[in-house]
Amino acid sequence: MAKNQDNIINDVTSGDYKYGFYSDIEMEQIPKGLNEDIIHIISKKKNEPEWLLEFRLKAFRHWQTMKMPEWANLKIPPIDYQGIIYYSAPIQKPSPESLDDIDPELKKTFDKLGIPLEEQKHLSGVAVDAVMDSVSVKTTFRETLAESGIIFCSFSDAVKEYPELVRRYLGTVVPYTDNFFATLNSAVFSDGSFCYIPKGVRCPMELSTYFRINAANTGQFERTLLVADEESYVSYLEGCTAPMRDENQLHAAIVEIIVENNAEVKYSTVQNWYPGDKNGKGGIFNFVTKRGLCRGENSKISWTQVETGSAITWKYPSCILRGDNSTGEFYSVAVTNHYQQADTGTKMIHIGKNTKSTIVSKGISAGRGQNSYRGLVKVLKNATGARNFSQCDSLLLGDKCGAHTFPYLEVENQTAIVEHEATTSKIGEDQIFYCNQRGISTEDAIGLIVNGYAREVINKLPMEFAVEAQKLLQISLEGSVG
């Protein structure tokens, strides 16, 4: 029986990464390395106002005093920060007026990724900000959204067109001193998405940012800033892919969300960065800081993530529940196959009264993958009536992978109710055989069982994404059982 389990696991771990192609696009790059001159160059390239340059420089100076965090349950090889190119952009006209101004090769790339830049090609109402390497290539449906007063554009455009808004919110949830990677991002971030939903507006379509790393030896450092004003609602999606390369590439992003009274933001991620090959060579280092502030009363942030890619994932989408009666949710599926490592989870900081949080984390480990859930639930002194429910499940495929759970609880208010449940299970040989006996191949059986296990989280994704995510889960585990 044990022998059989091993065979099964050996066989299901050789899936192909579908998005590993490289596009030959004319690029503009700056020299590699990181110093104040580089930051000046980036800022100048983007024609930034003085205050933003200052923000970057302050961050850079602070970063130089910092050390890479070592507390995560990850083996991170040394990263040569001077060996990275911090700005790399497809050459295009300054601000493309129409699609005709965009390099056809670029359009082709996004078509291939299933993210057409032509608005009429979108079947379902999803507006996309397409980011390649260091810059935003195109934001669709900008005008349509503007009719409802919604601002949805690249971060660079926002700095130019809405400097006051950006300045008011930038760094208010993730300060430039926050952590090693966030501070690095604050110094060198090159683009990203900006979104503002005005009072009382329910965003009529899904907004999304698609991140593509294309160039070699570069890092991607983008920022997303999302503001939901009172009584507003938006559902935001994020997807990402990268070419297959033997070298590791760094992705250090920041997402900041601010939610006012009675507003709600739903933020979904399907992370599919190149995970490295079967032997653990190459892949993206995904070190991301995501945090939302429920500033208003009755405000709500819901994070949903499906993490299948990256060689290393270090990511804790968090909620600061400051407004009374505010709600934070975190639904996560993280897959580690081959030599992938993930240390991911969330922080729920209860500050306001009657604040509620829900954490559902589903880890899936296969091959030699190491999967850690790390979560903090913190209830401050004044957070009367705070409630948290956490559920952390781990699913193991094989006996060479690992699942770890690191829950932290800090409760300072006696009235708080905090619950934590955790389970670890294995896909049973008998489950697979049962599927086999009904005509379902072992590979499909694993897909079915894994998707069943992750269903609670997948169901939180918008429809089209859910279908994508299901396929992705299956592909990620291909070859991990047979």
Partner 1 sequence: MLVIKNLRAAIEGKAILKGITLEVKPGEIHAIMGPNGSGKSTLAAVLAGREFAEVTEGTVTYLGRNLLEMAPEDRSKEGIFLGFQYPIEIPGVSMVNFMKTAVNEHRKHKGLEPLSASDFLKLMREKKELVEIDSKLANRSVNEGFSGGEKKKNEIFQMAILEPKLAILDETDSGLDIDALRIVANGVNRLKRPDNAAIVITHYQRLLDYIVPDVVHVLYDGRIVKTAGKELALELEKKGYDWIKQDVEKKEVL
Report the interface residues with partner 1, using CB under 8 A. 1, 4, 428, 430-431, 433-442, 444, 448-449, 451-456
Distance CA 379, CA 381 (A): 7
Q: How far is the CB of 306 from partner 1 (least distance, A)?
A: 15
Q: How far is the CB of 397 from partner 1 (least distance, A)?
A: 15
Nearest to partner 1 of 103, 429 (CB atom): 429
**DSSP bridge partners of 310:** none
Nearest to partner 1 of 124, 437 (CB atom): 437
User: Where does residue 147 rank: exposed (0-12), middle (13-18), buried (19+ CB within 10 A)?
Assistant: exposed
Nearest to partner 1 of 301, 427 (CB atom): 427
- Cα 83 to Cα 215, 217, 248, 344: the distances in Å are 14, 8, 12, 27
Q: How far is the CB of 50 from partner 1 (least distance, A)?
A: 54
- For 37, residues 6+ apart whose C-beta sits below 8 A from its C-beta are none
Distance CA 217, CA 249 (A): 7
Contact 228, 197 (CB under 8 A): yes
Nearest to partner 1 of 51, 434 (CB atom): 434
Of 107, 198, 87, the residue nearest 152 (C-alpha): 198
How do strand 318-321 and strand 283-294 relate by DSSP bridges? parallel
Nearest to partner 1 of 94, 439 (CB atom): 439
Q: How far is the CB of 430 from partner 1 (least distance, A)?
A: 5
Q: How far is the CB of 15 from partner 1 (least distance, A)?
A: 19
Nearest to partner 1 of 2, 123 (CB atom): 2
Distance CA 129, CA 153 (A): 7
User: Where does residue 296 rank: exposed (0-12), middle (13-18), buried (19+ CB within 10 A)?
Assistant: buried
Nearest to partner 1 of 49, 482 (CB atom): 482
- For 48, residues 6+ apart whose C-beta sits below 8 A from its C-beta are 159
Distance CA 47, CA 30 (A): 16
Q: How far is the CB of 445 from partner 1 (least distance, A)?
A: 9
Q: How far is the CB of 235 from partner 1 (least distance, A)?
A: 24
Nearest to partner 1 of 22, 434 (CB atom): 434
Q: How far is the CB of 403 from partner 1 (least distance, A)?
A: 17
Which stretches within 174-278 are classed as H helix?
Answer: 180-188
